[in-house]
Structure 1
Amino acid sequence: MILSELIDLDILRVIWWVLLGVLLIGFALTDGFDMGVGALLPFVGKSDVERRVVINTIGPVWEGNQVWFILGGGAIFAAWPPLYAVSFSGFYLAMFTVLAALILRPVGFKYRSKRDSAAWRNGWDWALFVGGAVPALLFGVAVGNVLLGVPFHLSDDLMSFYDGNFFTKFVGLLRPFALLSGVVSLSMLLMHGAAWLTLKTEGPVQIRARTIGTYAGIVAAVTYALAGVWLAFGVEGFHMVGEVPANGPSNPLYNEVARGGSWLAAYSLRPWIVIAPIMGFVGIAMAVMGLRAGREVSTLLWSKLAITGIISSVGLTMFPFILPSIVDPNSSLSVWDSSSSQQTLFVMLVMAVIFVPIILAYTAWVYKVLWGKVTEEEITGSGHSY
């Protein structure tokens, strides 16, 4: 017997759907506070030393946090090839914008203090702001577009085609609901960044972070609730027609899909998934109260719970769909018809079981070594700080 046959294809598909969600959540939990801190930089740091304190809270860890982003992209490429092909081609301009913004972060870290000029450093501070705020916003816009459905269709030989020209592919993503989802993402990560700064800083920087983070958390809760209402009454959902074989061929055109009803119908079919939005709202509420009360470790943990719940609610609500099509619903990509082969998924699972614990252990060790607050005395007295 071939080893890959030890686990059925349908089980492997669900496992990799879960693992993809774990990788995306891991990215949001770690690199999310990096982006939040970058977006907060010009507002929580008023002097050059204060801004250097803010930068040095994430400077030693941001590169390691990017691992989750790379792993997520790799998982999409290897486990869900049609998703990689369709999304990376259709969202090309948006992804290019995100990558361009992310590139500003390492460049800003390296070059900001190369010249003792207020204008020079202020310019790089705003570049770091762009490197944090733009990806945080556009990631949410992308999620909103996935919920709305993407204007693509597949030919008989599974080539993907998008409606519109090169420019409208980007502008067409800026739909009202998608922009609202972007606000949810941005405010959520601003709260998360503020929770991180509350843990890692003290004095005026910490006070400003707590104040801004509190307002960001309130905005996140309100916009998340509004997005839920909009999904219930203003966005058509997708559903499979007839019986769908969970271990069927990896051909999206094999199954019949129809539009209609609400995405939130999933909560009547699988009532247990209500735990995800509950985690989102409870996490936000407790994080906001923690910020107001000046709590540190627990506030960051509650913020992580909020992010986990919000992202999980999207995946659980859409299951089994991964990327629905508003042009041709039958071209929609789902868990059951868009995966790699059984052997590929099994080999990747073995690699994940080996290497993900190693990454987690190394990450935990790094944060243990770097535990503690970043102070102005350390920044001004060390030649190794940013």
Structure 2
Amino acid sequence: MILHTLLDYETLRVIWWVLLGVLLIGFAVMDGFDLGTAMLLPFVAETDLERRVVINSVGPVWEGNQVWLILGGGAVFAAWPPLYAVSFSGFYLAMFAILFALILRPVGFKYRSKREDPRWRASWDWALFVGGLVPALVTGVAVGNVLQGANFHFGPDLRIFYDGTTLFELLNPFGLLCGLLSVAMLVMHGANWLLLKTDGVVSERARTFGGLAAVAVIALFALGGLWLWLGVDGYRFVSAVVADGPSNPLAKTVERASGVWFENYGTMSWTLIAPALGFLGALASLGFSQGRKAVPALLSSALSIFGVISTVGVSMFPFILPSWTDPKSSLTVWDASSSHLTLFIMLVATVIFLPLILAYTTWVYRVLWGKVDERAIARGDGHAY
């Protein structure tokens, strides 16, 4: 209990804000390359054998990668209950679209090679493509809408009211730009994975697409920043900030203003590291992939993902989910968390189990290191998809 006393409420809230970012980045990096691989499947592989090579490059690991999605969802549910309630109700249709697409993936992996009919296999190949594209696109669109503010407000009794109408209102121009950035980012990452795990024409095609995707990431990230500066209002406190008070989103005053999402870069200059890594990672990925240096290219695209997602977090801090309808109802690090004791108990569990997950994941990738053997797949050796 001494540690519980030393870690005050404000500190625990910041720690869990950081951990939420770590889990989201972990999901984007670990599950991102197999989503990107799925999006590239119809384009980097022409023959059935080539497509089996692509599928088997992620087949043994994609299920384990989704642990990060479960961890992220669980962290939101336990550490940030109002955020969970608002996002999973207000963005329900978007969440359903992502869930439906993710369900297509295991079905596609398991059933694609059950029959030798070319049309059967081609249909499941496109299902895998959709299973990669939709989560990447819709997640990016959701982030774009978070930056603009969601249409919800709290009643006097803290009941949540969502003021949105349909899924299509999320598909606004800035949201779609963020969606395209997300797609390009994961295609870049998936292409570098294929560069690492495959040989021959598949690897060469992946290198070409990876280079194009890296250029798209740089361009879309720059355009998004310019758009955010000129055309998207940010949110800031007008009232005093109570960092260690009870979680009551209505106990503050907030205003919208242009350019606010860039204020943290002026007051905390070290935060500029985040967008710099977004650009430099994509640029390094482009250079390493064109030089056929697969491991540095994959690490560089992961660094770019880290930078892009971190940029969103540090730009918005301390806001987590702003409200366009009623800025006062916006959720922040200081008023949307669970209790002090709950955050502490969760932190202890995380300190114990997260290193175990990392150790096991490292061991699995070490065991599975190496390129996919096209000849073994052709012979039907092992348990290839």
Pick the TM interval, shorter chain. Answer: over 0.9
CA distance in 1 between counterparts of 2:146 and 2:201 reads 40
CA distance in 1 between counterparts of 2:212 and 2:58 reads 22
Aligned length: 383
Partner residue, 1:224: 221
Moved over 2 A (4+): 1-6
Q: Which runs of 5+ in 2 are unaligned?
A: none
CA contact (8 A) 1:5 1:342 kept: no
Matches within 5 A, 1:1-386: 4-165=4-165, 168=166, 170-262=167-259, 263-381=261-379, 382-386=381-385
Q: Residue 15 of structure 2 aligns to a residue in which SS?
A: helix
Question: C-alpha displacement at 1:347, in angstroms?
Answer: 0.2
CA distance in 2 between counterparts of 1:102 and 1:342 reads 34
CA distance in 1 between counterparts of 2:2 and 2:297 reads 48
The 1:276/1:100 distance shift into structure 2, 3 A limit, reads same
Q: Could you give the per-residue CA deviations for residues 18-66 of structure 1, whole angstroms, max 9, x where no partner exists?
A: 0000000000110000100000000011000000000001000001000
CA distance in 2 between counterparts of 1:255 and 1:349 reads 27
Question: C-alpha displacement at 1:157, in angstroms?
Answer: 1.2
User: Which amino acid is 2:254 matched to?
Assistant: V
CA contact (8 A) 2:90 2:164 kept: no
User: Which amino acid is 2:206 matched to?
Assistant: A
Question: C-alpha displacement at 1:293, in angstroms?
Answer: 1.2
CA contact (8 A) 2:152 2:164 kept: no
Q: Residue 125 of structure 2 aligns to a residue in which SS?
A: helix
CA contact (8 A) 1:30 1:65 kept: yes
TM-score (ref. length: structure 1): 0.98
For the aligned residue pairs, the C-alpha RMSD in angstroms reads 0.9
Q: Residue 66 of structure 2 aligns to a residue in which SS?
A: helix
Question: C-alpha displacement at 1:3, in angstroms?
Answer: 5.8
CA distance in 2 between counterparts of 1:164 and 1:81 reads 20
TM-score (ref. length: structure 2): 0.98
Question: C-alpha displacement at 1:261, in angstroms?
Answer: 2.8
CA distance in 2 between counterparts of 1:99 and 1:208 reads 30
Q: Which runs of 5+ in 1 are unaligned?
A: none
Question: C-alpha displacement at 1:255, in angstroms?
Answer: 1.3
Question: C-alpha displacement at 1:159, in angstroms?
Answer: 1.2
The 1:2/1:383 distance shift into structure 2, 3 A limit, reads closer
Question: C-alpha displacement at 1:379, in angstroms?
Answer: 1.1
Moved more, 288-297 or 108-117: 288-297
CA distance in 2 between counterparts of 1:56 and 1:121 reads 15
CA distance in 1 between counterparts of 2:87 and 2:309 reads 18
User: Which amino acid is 1:50 matched to?
Assistant: E
User: Which amino acid is 2:351 matched to?
Assistant: V
CA distance in 2 between counterparts of 1:343 and 1:103 reads 36
